[in-house]
Chains A and B, each alone.
Chain A
Amino acid sequence: MRNIPASEITGTVAGLCQQANYQLGEDVLTAIKNAGEQEISLTGRDILQQLLKNAEIAREESVPMCQDTGFAVVFLELGQEVHVTGGDLYEAVNEGVRRGYVEGYLRKSIVGDPLNRKNTGDNTPAVIHTRIVPGDKLRIVVAPKGGGSENMSAIKMLKPAEGVAGVKNFVLETVKAAGPNPCPPVVVGVGIGGTFEKAALLAKESLLRPVGRPSPDPVLAALENELLEAVNATGIGPQGLGGLTTALAVHIETYPCHIASLPVAVNLNCHASRHKEAII
Chain B
Amino acid sequence: MAVPPEVLLDLLVRMVRIREFEEAGGRLMEQGKIPGALHLYVGEEAVAAGVCASLNRDDYLTSTHRGHGHLIAKGGDFKPMYAELFGKAAGYCRGKGGSMHIADLDLGMLGANGIVGGGPPIAVGAAWTAKRRGRGQVAACFFGDGASNQGTVHEAMNMAALWELPVVFVCENNLYGEYTRQDRHQTVADVAERAASYGMPGVVVDGMDVMAVHEATHEAVARARSGGGPSLLEAKTYRYFNHIGISPTSSYRSEDEVAQWRARDPIETFRQVLAKDGVLSLEQSDALRARVRSEVEEAIHYAEESPLPDPDTLLQDVYSEPAASATGGA
Mutual binders A and B:
no
